[in-house]
Amino acid sequence: MKLFSRYRTKGPHAPAVSAIAPPALRKLGKVFSQSSSSISVGQTSEGNKTYRDLLSRLQIPINAETPDQIESAQVRDRGQFLARQERWEELEDLIRTHDQNRAATATGTPLAELMLFGARSDVVRAAEHALLHGRPAKDADFFAGIEAMEYLLEEHPDSYPIALVVAHMHIDVGWAWRGASAKEDVREINREAFEAHFERATNILKRFCPKERHSPALSAARCALLPGEAQPLNTLCREFESLIALDPFNPRHMRALGNYLLPRWYGDFPQLDLQARRIAAQTYDVWGAGAYAWVWFDALLVDPRGLETLEIEYFVDGVTDALQRSGDQHSANLMAAHLYRCWQHARAQHSADGLRADLPPALRQGFEMVVRDHLREIHPLIWGHAEIGFENTSRVISKERLSAKGRDIALQAVAMPFMSGLQAGQTVYFTPEGITQVNP
């Protein structure tokens, strides 16, 4: 498939295609359609009072706009601004500096990744709009944007930061054509476009060796290209192991590996468990048992059947070790929301059939440990994202709606370890120093 011409053209129109309904949006719609009464855990009464009345006695800060979210937005906006102003040398220097320094937000998002996203966002959004609506936005020409990126690459042939901007642009546009789910029933024209964009991104990046340049960003881009390969499992674990070795303090790489080892993608649960153990052994000095939990993290929410393979004691140990090494409130909310969702899945799947009866109590105990020992404020967006498995496609969902839903779920969940006290009239205060339960 021809992506762009060797000559500048004016006014090409995007081909009309059917709108692709993002799977995360469909899933969230099901979640939001549930009434509050569908969440049975934690529902109680005190006379005529419901659990919502008891929540007035749960005093915990709600942080809907964390410093990390603000910093991430600022870095993305900076990348977008520099690209719009065509200040490529400055953008290139910033991306390289962030990458070489392994600079990241407090929650582990690499600053280089954020700048790369901002730099390509205008072109990618134009492409996504055209594919969603069957036509470009008014006065937009995303094919011209792709060509402009390609000419930029020709002007900076030895710049790996510029190469990353253009390669990620092709990767994003490829996913826009295909859709982000692991489904196989993709229309032929969409699959051809996906493969063509990924092939182009591969050709752009093959001149730059991540190890030689000590670049986690290049290594992460190679991992992002794996879905474009015919047999990605042959190189999947090797590429991710290289990335984790370059940037072992960032758990996001481990989480991505686990997701790709799901049966819906390229692996199976025994292989996922084996790789989680391998990464845990390789990163023990950094994370203790934490990597075992990180590799399983997203995979369990996307496909809860993995709970049948999980070694629950090792997993909870991994959660504890991860929080001891990364004790910020973002991580505490991640782990609390994750354990709560897994507990709900385990209760639904195994309470009746008696299989893996060890799972629900162990997950509940782990959840309550995180709440009591680590959680001091609620980050609603994390809890909202946990409902849909932290899928990347959730970006299309209203942030306000997601945050409101996450707040409700978090308050119900966090109240549970203190429910008997709340019923007795206690007020529970969460502060940075700890938790205080005050009798009436």
Helix ranges, 376-417 (H): 380-386, 399-415
Q: Which of 334, 269, 337 is nearest to 305 (CA)?
A: 269
Residue 334 lies in a domain: no
* Structure letter (DSSP) for residue 136: P
Q: Would you state the pLDDT for residue 351? A: 64
Beta bridge partners of 431: 434
pTM for the full model? 0.82
In a domain, 71, yes or no: yes
Residue 247: inside a domain? no
Q: Which two tokens stand for residue 187?
A: 């229309």
CB 179 within 8 A of CB 20: yes
Provide the pLDDT for residue 384: 92
Residue 303 within any structural domain of the chain: no
Residues of the chain with pLDDT under 70: 1-51, 132-142, 180-186, 351-354, 390-397
In the chain, the amino acid numbered 223 is C
The answer as to whether 122 is a domain residue is yes
Q: How many domains does the chain have?
A: 1
Residue 80 lies in a domain: yes
Residue 384 lies in a domain: no
Domain containing 124 equals: 65-230
HEC letters along 320-336: HHHHHHCCCHHHHHHHH
3-class DSSP state of 58: strand
Q: At residue 429, what are phi and psi to the nearest 5 degrees?
A: -110, 125
- Give pLDDT, residue 259: 93
Are the beta carbons of 139 and 93 closer than 8 angstroms?
A: no
Burial class (CB in 10 A: 0-12, 13-18, 19+), 348: exposed
What's 59's DSSP letter?
Answer: E
pLDDT tens, residue by residue, 192-201: 889 999 999 9
| pLDDT at residue 44, as a whole number | 42
State the pLDDT at residue 67: 81
Residue 102 phi, psi (nearest 5): 55, 35
On whether residue 364 sits in a domain, the answer given is: no
Q: Please tell me the predicted confidence (pLDDT) of residue 18.
A: 32
What pLDDT digit, counting tens, does each position of 345-376 carry?
A: 998 887 666 678 889 999 999 999 999 999 99
Q: How far apart are CA 21 and CA 127, in angstroms?
A: 15
Q: How many CB atoms lie within 10 A of CB 4?
A: 18
| SS3 at position 258 | helix
